[in-house]
Structure 1
Amino acid sequence: MSEGGFHVHGPHDHELEHAVQGGHGDHGKGGGMINQIAMFTAIIATVGAIFSYMGGATQANAGLFKNNAALKKAEASNQWNYFQAKSTKQSLAELARDLAPEAKQPTYQAKIDRYEKEKAEIKVAAEKLEGEATEWDHQSDEQMHQHHRWAQATTVLQVAIALAAIALLTKKKWLEYAMFGVGGLGVIVGGLAAMHL
């Protein structure tokens, strides 16, 4: 309404007024369809928001787990470098033992034995870290799979909402059925994501 009291309706304003009052020409039938579609859209939009949040959370977890895997791989690499350094020292001690006079050989043999023991401990630590890195990678892959499921579910629900809008505008009953079918499919895909399938 303008200041002078003159009011101009847009083409959609007239339709909206009739829709609120129960439909255009079919007071009982159209209002029920409109209410049903509005309720469906509100519920599916809420479920879609939850699915979208879950998708974001699993994507963040996948990144975090992949980062943990990289850190464990770096730690394992450090251990293998340490192992190699001990191997080099052991080789030098073996050379020194072989070249040393017989009286000095037990001293070098003790070093060789110590390096061998240290290498065994380092190897166990490195292999453990590699195993942890593999486990973090596996968890990251699982989270990414679940993220893709949540994203698929969210996309299907968005299609259902679009079908709801088209059904509302065209008042086609088959589109309303399609909207319910696609919405149900989206909820099923979200259920698969929740079950880690």
Structure 2
Amino acid sequence: MSVNEELREHAEHAHDDFSRKAGAGMAIIAALLAVVAVYGHLTTTEELLAQQKASDQWAFFQAKSLRRYQSEVARDILKATPGERAQAASAKYDLNLAKYEREGEEIKEKAEELGKESDLSGRRALRLHVGEIFLEMAIVFSSLAILTRKHLFWYSGIASASIGTVISATSFLILH
């Protein structure tokens, strides 16, 4: 077989119906993969950002707890000190104690809320990344189908793409 005849035969195979369908399907899968991958990365970033914010809130909570403890110590020392001025100053530290306890509880609630938000984003990101794996496998199967002209690879690609799409789509169903 001459080189020209071989090239013509390959060109005909490249333009047959199966190759066109598999190629078009592969393009659709690649586009879906791009969307899932980007959304997965954004969700991972949201997880890390919420985690960092929660960490900052816990540090703030610790600072408020330390201030509350210092106010307790100062109040106790002033209560043990005789005199009206010491008692008046002690009352000031009582007010500080109440303020730091209230603020500490608010900060603690916010830190816990951010922790839950981080966990939620983490579960969503995991689903998206697992879906991404199946979509990548679908592209590999589709490529093999075009190269080998075997329908089994094409059907495997369709199945893998379907599984990846379903897993990725369920990330939107995770509410808490």
Q: If the length of structure 2 is used for normalisation, what is the TM-score?
A: 0.89
Give the corresponding residue for 1:4: none
Alignment pair present for 1:17 and 2:2: no
Shift of 1:180: 1.1
Relative contact order (alpha carbons < 8 A, sep ≥ 6): 1 or 2 greater? Answer: 2
SS in 2 for 1:93: helix
What does residue range 1-197 of structure 1 map to in structure 2 within 5 Å? 16-21=10-15, 31-96=16-81, 100=82, 104=83, 106-196=84-174
Instruction: Label 1:188 to 1:122 Cα distance change in 2 as closer, same or farther (>3 A).
Output: same
Amino acid at match of 1:91: D
More helix by share: 2
Whole-angstrom CA distance in 2 between matches of 1:70 and 1:36? 51
Gapped regions of structure 1 (runs ≥ 5) = 1-7, 22-30
Shift of 1:33: 1.2
Shift of 1:117: 2.0
Shift of 1:14: 5.9
Amino acid at match of 1:149: R
Shift of 1:15: 5.6
Whole-angstrom CA distance in 2 between matches of 1:48 and 1:16? 29
Cα root mean square deviation, aligned: 2.0
- Equivalent pairs: percent with the same residue? 19
Whole-angstrom CA distance in 2 between matches of 1:14 and 1:188? 41
Residue by residue, what CA displacement relative to the aligned partner does 1:44-73 show, whole Å, maximum 9, x if unpaired? Answer: 000000000001101111111111111111
Instruction: Label 1:93 to 1:47 Cα distance change in 2 as closer, same or farther (>3 A).
Output: same
Whole-angstrom CA distance in 1 between matches of 2:9 and 2:168? 35
Question: Which of structures 1 and 2 has the bigger CA Rg?
Answer: 1
Instruction: Label 1:17 to 1:113 Cα distance change in 2 as closer, same or farther (>3 A).
Output: same
User: Which stretches of structure 1, 4 residues or longer, exceed 2 Å deviation after superposition?
Assistant: 13-16, 106-114, 194-197
Q: How many residues align?
A: 173
Shift of 1:158: 0.6
